[in-house]
Chain A
Amino acid sequence: MDQQFLTSMAFIFLSFALYIGIAVYNRARQTSDFYVASRGVPPVWNGMAIAGDWMSAASFIGMAGTVMILGYDGLAYIMGWTGGYLLLTFLLAPQLRKYGRYTVPEFIGDRFDSHTARLIAAVGTMIISFVYIIGQLSGTGVVLGRLFEIDTAIATMIGVAVITVYATFGGMRGITWTQVAQFIILIIAYVVPVVFMSLQITGNPIPWLTYGDVVSKLGELDRELGISEYFAPFEQTNKAQFLALLFCLMAGTAALPHVIVRFYTVSTMKAARWSGAWALLFICMLYLTAPAYAAFSRFILMTEVAGRPFDALPAWTQSWIDTGRLKLIDQNGDGILQWSEISISNDIVVMATPEIANLGVFVVGLMAAGALAAALSTAGGLLIAISSSFAHDIYYRLINPQASEEKRLLVARVSIAVATIVAGIVALDPPGVITQIVAWAFSMAAGTFFPVLFLGVWWTRCNAQGAIAGMLSGMAVTMSYIIAARYFEFSLFGIIDTGAGIFGAPISLLATIIVSLATAAPSQKLQEEVMDLRYPEQMTYKDGEVWIHENTR
């Protein structure tokens, strides 16, 4: 039990006590509370909760490492995971809010008046959220495994136990305020070490202004070593893959069921627009910091760690080598560690850097608490998406419409527990690095839901047959491409597994349009409901005319 362990535990324990306290305080008592917090959350707070929900283990633990390893090519994650909010806020969120349904499957089921479409959307939501949650649990394993110096598998199981407890009892209202708290903790934890590193390296505490020069210096160091410059474009991947990944992350962001459900908690279309704007502002606090994190980490590794003799390496190196994610091998046998002899996994850069930069036990402890906040807040939102798809859309709407409120809540809680445990088992041996697993979920959301949601909201002629064809073809193409590219080295235009949605989405879009046009138009009532989404709440489209509700004040 060293000092570091005790400090980290204290930070984690205090933050967990806070989340569980909030969840218990707000314990959901009704179904409407459980799913959408009674639609009364103000935009700024809702924006913060969206940000806490959104920023996952991939953002917190994985992203800066990915940017550091991939250089310019890693910026696809930075732009993709922020730019998607524009598609969401401009094209989908306000309209879905006016339609007023709890979940994505419910919107699709009611908009197309088809139980088949509802079932496909519910299963799609469950698959996408499930893949995403594997990444979160795998991130929890990285943090807890290093902390306790135990096997990652046991650490993952501890994370599973905690998340099951509070997601099961809290519901969405608990989670809304818990996620606000988690956002605040994770953003402080992320920015503090970067500010210290900026001070250490440049003497100026504002990393966003100073790291540009460090990026340029890294380029010079790379030139001296005769390797490609840090910021040189398309060195690690190629341009087609960059653009494909960018598209998938953006369209996936706009169509992820657990993010969309957040916009049902606002009161109006106007509040949905403001929530989107606030959310991206809070998200960018972390996303603007990640490239600085990457640049400083790489600079410290290149100038302070590389060049040391092997028998005088700092103590932290051994504990990370033990986790199997850091390798230092004296390839040329000169007894000195060279930059090219360091091989570091994307997933440990963020967690290891405060130790590398020697920032002290408090910063390292804070990082551990922040990383868990990121992983658990997203896992909480994902579990709600899975349980509402199952308990609400499949069980209540399809299997047993007479189910009592208690029974539905029970089914929701059981499905949360089952989903967490199964995802935990898969996460014991994760099928890729965190950002990669999460990128698959985005590709699937982009390929399965984005085209159907977009056309469903804006195109009156879009019908159930079209939506079913679109979702099935998009899902099939995206998943096959991921599997073919990941396990059978199949590739078109140099695009790898993470960019699979670039093929799924256009096929899904075309299938939806062609099948819709080839079959009968939807009923007059459904078409009018879609026309109605063009106008604010006070205007109603009915019988081919627009009606305005007069102010009754």
Chain B
Amino acid sequence: MKKLDKQLANAYYYTRIKHISIYLTIWFIVSFGVVAFADSLTGFSMNGMPFHYFMGAQGALIIFVALLFINAVVSDRVDRSFGIDEEANERLGSGKTLDH
């Protein structure tokens, strides 16, 4: 084990926090945001149905799934750029769990 530079460790944490904040902002706008203004989004259609209905039935869900996969891919990249190795994670992870 070697000591990690404090700034580098913080950089890892703040990168993750920044990404998660962006994803959750989008999540909030496409779900709560669209519902809050549903009355004024009825005028035009998407995929054959009024826009507010489309967002609730299809749009929001597709964006949710996309955000989760983007998060998984981007987090892996962030891990790699900080020199994290998944095999080591697995070894350490299985050693650390509380087994009764």
The residues of A with any CB-CB pair to B shorter than 8 Å are 31-32, 39, 72, 75-76, 78-79, 82-83, 85-87, 89-91, 97-98, 100-102, 208-216, 219, 231-234, 239, 242-243, 246-247, 250, 267-270, 273-274, 276-277, 280-281, 284, 287-288, 291, 396, 534-540, 545-553
CB interface residues, B 5-20, toward A, < 8 Å: 6, 9, 12-13, 16, 20
A212's nearest neighbour on chain B, judged by CB, is B48
Give A83 to B90 CA distance when docked, in angstroms: 29
> Can you give 15 A-B contacts (C-beta < 8 A)?
A79-B60, A83-B64, A86-B24, A215-B49, A231-B53, A246-B35, A267-B90, A268-B86, A268-B90, A273-B71, A281-B68, A287-B61, A534-B13, A539-B4, A551-B85
Using Cβ atoms and an 8 Å threshold, which residues of chain B touch A234?
Answer: 38-39
How many Å from the CB of B85 to the closest CB on chain A? 5
Task: Flag whether B93 is at the interface (Cβ < 8 A).
Answer: yes
User: Do B87 and A270 touch across chains, with their CB atoms under 8 A apart?
Assistant: no
Task: Map CB proximity to A onto B63-74 as digits: 1 under 8 Å, 0 otherwise.
Answer: 011011101100
Give A288 to B61 CA distance when docked, in angstroms: 8
Using Cβ atoms and an 8 Å threshold, which residues of chain B touch A246?
Answer: 31-32, 35
User: Do A270 and B86 touch across chains, with their CB atoms under 8 A apart?
Assistant: yes
Using Cβ atoms and an 8 Å threshold, which residues of chain B touch A284?
Answer: 61-62, 64-65
**Which of B4, B53, B85, B86 is within 8 Å of A215, CB to CB?**
B53
User: Do B61 and A535 touch across chains, with their CB atoms under 8 A apart?
Assistant: no
Q: Given A78-B56, A79-B56, A550-B2, does the pair A277, B69 have CB atoms closer than 8 Å?
A: yes
Using Cβ atoms and an 8 Å threshold, which residues of chain B touch A277?
Answer: 65, 68-69, 71-72
Give A209 to B90 CA distance when docked, in angstroms: 42
User: Do A231 and B50 touch across chains, with their CB atoms under 8 A apart?
Assistant: yes
Give A32 to B98 CA distance when docked, in angstroms: 10
Give A510 to B1 CA distance when docked, in angstroms: 39
How many Å from the CB of B98 to the closest CB on chain A? 6
- Most interface-central of B6, B9, B13 (chain A CB within 10 A): B9
Using Cβ atoms and an 8 Å threshold, which residues of chain B touch A91?
Answer: 20
Using Cβ atoms and an 8 Å threshold, which residues of chain A touch B84?
Answer: 536, 538-539
User: Do A274 and B89 touch across chains, with their CB atoms under 8 A apart?
Assistant: no
Give A553 to B85 CA distance when docked, in angstroms: 11
Using Cβ atoms and an 8 Å threshold, which residues of chain B touch A287?
Answer: 61
Q: Given A267-B93, A274-B72, does the pair A233, B39 have CB atoms closer than 8 Å?
A: yes
Using Cβ atoms and an 8 Å threshold, which residues of chain A touch B79?
Answer: 270, 536
In the complex, the number of residue pairs spanning A and B with C-beta atoms less than 8 Å apart equals 197
Task: Map CB proximity to A onto B26-47 as digits: 1 under 8 Å, 0 otherwise.
Answer: 0100011001101100100111
User: Do A212 and B49 touch across chains, with their CB atoms under 8 A apart?
Assistant: yes
Give A253 to B65 CA distance when docked, in angstroms: 15
User: Do B4 and A545 touch across chains, with their CB atoms under 8 A apart?
Assistant: yes
Q: List 5 additional A-B contacts (Cβ < 8 Å) besides A75-B53, A534-B16.
A: A79-B56, A83-B27, A280-B68, A291-B58, A546-B6
Give A280 to B61 CA distance when docked, in angstroms: 9
User: Do A539 and B12 touch across chains, with their CB atoms under 8 A apart?
Assistant: yes
The residues of B with any CB-CB pair to A shorter than 8 Å are 1-4, 6, 9, 12-13, 16, 20, 23-24, 27, 31-32, 35-36, 38-39, 42, 45-50, 52-54, 56-58, 60-62, 64-65, 67-69, 71-72, 75-76, 79, 83-90, 92-94, 96-100
User: Do B12 and A72 touch across chains, with their CB atoms under 8 A apart?
Assistant: no
User: Do B68 and A89 touch across chains, with their CB atoms under 8 A apart?
Assistant: yes
Using Cβ atoms and an 8 Å threshold, which residues of chain B touch A268?
Answer: 86, 89-90, 93
How many Å from the CB of B16 to the closest CB on chain A? 8
B83's nearest neighbour on chain A, judged by CB, is A548
**Which of A85, A208, A270 is within 8 Å of B75, CB to CB?**
A270
User: Do B65 and A281 touch across chains, with their CB atoms under 8 A apart?
Assistant: yes
How many Å from the CB of A89 to the closest CB on chain B? 6
Q: Given A83-B27, A281-B65, A548-B83, does the pair A538, B71 have CB atoms closer than 8 Å?
A: no
User: Do B67 and A549 touch across chains, with their CB atoms under 8 A apart?
Assistant: no
Give A258 to B93 CA distance when docked, in angstroms: 22
Using Cβ atoms and an 8 Å threshold, which residues of chain A touch B64?
Answer: 82-83, 85-86, 280, 284
A550's nearest neighbour on chain B, judged by CB, is B2
Using Cβ atoms and an 8 Å threshold, which residues of chain B touch A243?
Answer: 32, 35-36
Q: Given A246-B31, A288-B58, does the pair A72, B52 have CB atoms closer than 8 Å?
A: yes
Using Cβ atoms and an 8 Å threshold, which residues of chain B touch A39?
Answer: 94, 97
Give A437 to B31 CA distance when docked, in angstroms: 23
Using Cβ atoms and an 8 Å threshold, which residues of chain B touch A32?
Answer: 99-100
Give A284 to B60 CA distance when docked, in angstroms: 11
**Which of A82, A537, A548 is within 8 Å of B93, CB to CB?**
A537
- Most interface-central of B2, B20, B56 (chain A CB within 10 A): B56
User: Do A551 and B88 touch across chains, with their CB atoms under 8 A apart?
Assistant: yes
How many Å from the CB of A44 to the closest CB on chain B? 12
User: Do B13 and A535 touch across chains, with their CB atoms under 8 A apart?
Assistant: yes
How many Å from the CB of B86 to the closest CB on chain A? 6
How many Å from the CB of B84 to the closest CB on chain A? 5
B26's nearest neighbour on chain A, judged by CB, is A86
Using Cβ atoms and an 8 Å threshold, which residues of chain A touch B45?
Answer: 212, 216
Give A239 to B33 CA distance when docked, in angstroms: 12
Give A270 to B42 CA distance when docked, in angstroms: 40
How many Å from the CB of A414 to the closest CB on chain B? 19
- Most interface-central of B52, B61, B85 (chain A CB within 10 A): B61
User: Do B89 and A269 touch across chains, with their CB atoms under 8 A apart?
Assistant: yes
A214's nearest neighbour on chain B, judged by CB, is B48
User: Do A548 and B24 touch across chains, with their CB atoms under 8 A apart?
Assistant: no
How many Å from the CB of B36 to the closest CB on chain A? 7
User: Do A83 and B39 touch across chains, with their CB atoms under 8 A apart?
Assistant: no
User: Do A291 and B68 touch across chains, with their CB atoms under 8 A apart?
Assistant: no
A546's nearest neighbour on chain B, judged by CB, is B9
Using Cβ atoms and an 8 Å threshold, which residues of chain B touch A75?
Answer: 53, 56-57
Give A239 to B83 CA distance when docked, in angstroms: 48
Using Cβ atoms and an 8 Å threshold, which residues of chain A touch B58?
Answer: 208, 288, 291
Q: Given A83-B64, A550-B1, does the pair A239, B94 have CB atoms closer than 8 Å?
A: no
Q: Given A209-B47, A287-B61, does the pair A90, B71 have CB atoms closer than 8 Å?
A: yes
